[in-house]
Structure 1
Amino acid sequence: MNIDLNLVRTFVAVYETRSVSAAAKRLNITQPSVSYSLQRLRDLLQDPLFTRTRNGMLPTFNATQLFATFKGAIDNIQDAISAARQFDPSSSTRRFRIALSDLGESHFLPYLVRELESIAPSVGLEVIQIDSEKIGEWLSTSHIDAAVGNLEFVGAQILKRKLFTESYSCVVSTKHPTIGNSLSLEQYVAAKHVVVSPFTGHHLVEDVMSEMGIKPIVALRVPHFTSLLAVVATTDLMLTLPSRIAKSFARDGSMRSLPPPIPIPSFDVNLYWYPHSEDAMAQQWFCETIIRALSNV
């Protein structure tokens, strides 16, 4: 049964005032509107709800039973609206939690923190290491407020917004003995590769090589990317990773970024969140801030 929320408000007003006219005044509607709403609710619930007496509208037994539930529902909705309206990022001390990969921490976090400092200096931010298998649960239970990445199977109720489309590049040391300013398929297959554990969501490269029948020489397997800057710069190892990060790795001149000689599909980097009505405006503001800070990185 679907009941119009306005009918519930009318019921609560009549119950508390014991008067159709007083309820109409409280709700700022006409008395016929109150009477019409009461009749609709009576038809839906198959109960007279109120009896008109000299002392006002007397609730039936069923109406008395319903009042606590209806009143609680209205109060919860009003509290949520009130809390949402009162959210002010310039003065809020709320702490938001976001799940990022280690690459997200190193590349996205500076942009996001600068944006927060400029418009919400007292807001706190906590970063959770992303785990692609747990993101859906974390979002739906409010363990985190948002996540950024390229994730699959996060749950049917999880919402997402594309921030940008990304591709892959390879990075090698500028002192690599056999690889210069271009990269052939033969060089790529023969290279010693660094591979990052798949729980971060970066498993696309290995999937493509497997589909092509390429068995890479995996010289190093690590749980995250951020420890690899000095490793690749000072060895003959090759790392395949998102292009934005590859370019930042190569910026100091110790490494070069090259297009991969295999067809690795581009992918979307998305913002993920789960709508929570009790914190709607704060959550909306946080998501909009992430979108603004990261869409053009």
Structure 2
Amino acid sequence: MDLKLLAVFDEVYKTRSVSRAGENLGLAQSSISISLARLRRHFGDPLFVRTSDGMQPTPHATSLVAPVRQAIELLRGITRQQAVFDPVKAQRMFRICMTDITHLVLLPALINRLRVIAPGINVEITHISGQTPRMLESGEADLAVGFMPQLEAGFYQQKLFEQDFSCVVRRDHPRVRSRLTAAMFKRENHVLVTAAGTGQNLVEEALERLGVQRNIALRLPNYLGMGGLLASTDLMVTVPRRVAETLVRIADVKQLLPPFELPVFSIKQHWHERYQQDPANRWLRGVISDLFLE
């Protein structure tokens, strides 16, 4: 039993996929299959069984994952392995949990940067959810980027930028011109985006404190198609300012200051303390932070 075999076990357990485990470890799929065969012989158990949901672990594999991960850490410490990450040569997948805001604001710039400085790096995006803390802890996700005040002890964070709110309507709106008044805001029909991490709860709490009631004509789970929707209707939406700026660039809409004082919140990147010193994770965090310092 060597470190390579243990790493294969751990990666297949995390990804539930032979091919994705190979991508992350920089090994051919055939090498992963050979390693799995050796592991199965050693433990006398199938360990992973192919299903419609990927390679699912057997009960014995589930019981092994904690000691295997402890053994990996121990072996790395004993051998004083100095991990090195070379982005120019690296061939791997990073998994990032994102909110809709960071999907719109960060993702295009990140992909363009990676194509230049690390052409072998690929990215998989998942939505922020209740499973995000567990995914960061287990290594199923490398980073989470967005507004996530629910992340507690055991997680590091770095502020990327502060965010306030703007209102958006179609450019030729018949009633809303260049300035939005409180009366206009209360009179118009509004869109409410219910996705987690948008800061929308901050808006609702602020309006409730101010005693402001508005007519929610449409509730949506995310910002998908928001630009086209607003450009084709008289609806109004209150969104984080950078989302509003993006909508202005891609659709025939305009951005207005809200007529009420709304809170400011921070967009951050989060990672688990297990990966604080991991070279690949540190490199990715640096790339993302640099995008907002330019």
TM above 0.5, yes or no, is yes
Aligned to 2:137: 140
> In the TM superposition, what is the alpha-carbon distance from 1:134 to its structure 2 partner?
3.1
Residues 101 and 240 of structure 2 are in contact (CA less than 8 Å); yes or no, is this contact kept in structure 1? no
1:275 match: 273
Q: Equivalent pairs: percent with the same residue?
A: 29
Indicate the SS of the match to 1:199: coil
Contact 2:181 2:259 in 1 (8 A): yes
- Alpha-carbon distance, 1:252 to partner: 5.5
The 8 Å contact of residues 170 and 238 in structure 1, kept in 2 or not, is answered as yes
Greater CA radius of gyration, 1 or 2? 1
Match of 2:174 in 1: 177
Separation in 1, partners of 2:72, 2:98: 38
Q: Quick one: which amino acid aligns to residue 136 of structure 2?
A: L
Q: What RMSD over aligned residues (CA atoms) do the two structures have, in Å?
A: 2.2
Report 1:122-133 matches (<5 A): 122-131=120-129, 133=130
Q: CA deviation at 1:73?
A: 6.9
Cα offsets for 1:151-208 (capped at 9, x unmatched): 1120211110011111110001122121100001111111111001142443221221
| Counterparts of 2:230 and 2:138, CA distance in 1 | 39
For 1:244, give the aligned amino acid.
R
Among 251, 257, 260, the residue aligned to 2:258 = 260
In structure 2, give the amino acid aligned to 1:127: I
Return 5+ residue gaps in structure 2 as ranges: 1-70
Q: CA deviation at 1:135?
A: 2.5
Q: Which one of the candidate residues 131, 152, 155 is aligned to 1:158?
A: 155
Structure 1 residue ranges without an equivalent (≥5): 1-70
Distance 1:224 1:80, change over 3 A: farther
Aligned mates of 1:220, 1:80 — CA distance in 2: 57
CA deviations over 1:223-272 (Å, ceiling 9, x no partner): 00122111111111001111122122123672110000111111111111
SS of 1:162 mapped into structure 2:
strand
Q: Distance in 2 between matches of 1:81 and 1:278?
A: 16
Counterpart residue number, 1:107: 105
Paired residues, what number?
Answer: 223
Counterpart CA distance in 2 for 1:182 and 1:73 is: 59
Partner amino acid for 2:167?
Answer: C
Deviation at 1:122, TM superposition (A): 0.4
Alignment of 1:214-233 (within 5 A): 214-233=212-231
- Provide the C-alpha distance between the structure 1 equivalents of 2:141 and 2:256, rounded to a whole number of angstroms: 36
Cα distance in 2 for partners of 1:172, 1:125 equals: 33
Structure 1 equivalent of residue 75 of structure 2: 75
**Amino acid of the structure 1 residue aligned with 2:256:** L
Q: Distance in 1 between matches of 2:246 and 2:150?
A: 30
Structure 2 Cα separation of the partners of residues 72 and 139 of structure 1: 18
Q: Distance in 1 between matches of 2:193 and 2:72?
A: 51
Deviation at 1:76, TM superposition (A): 2.6
State the Cα deviation string for residues 52-107 of structure 1 (Å, max 9, x = none).
xxxxxxxxxxxxxxxxxxx997633155733x12x211111121100112332232
Give the match's secondary structure for 1:248. helix
Match of 2:194 in 1: 197
The alpha-carbon deviation at position 138 of structure 1 amounts to 2.0
Residue 279 of structure 1 deviates from its aligned partner by 7.1
Answer yes or no: is the 8 Å Cα contact 1:174–1:255 preserved in 2.
yes
2: distance between equivalents of 1:150 and 1:244? Answer: 13
Task: With the length of structure 1 as denominator, give the TM-score of the two structures.
Answer: 0.69
Cα distance 1:147–1:79, how it changes in 2: closer, same or farther (>3 A)? farther
Give the one of 248, 251, 258 matched to 2:249: 251
TM-score by length of 2: 0.70
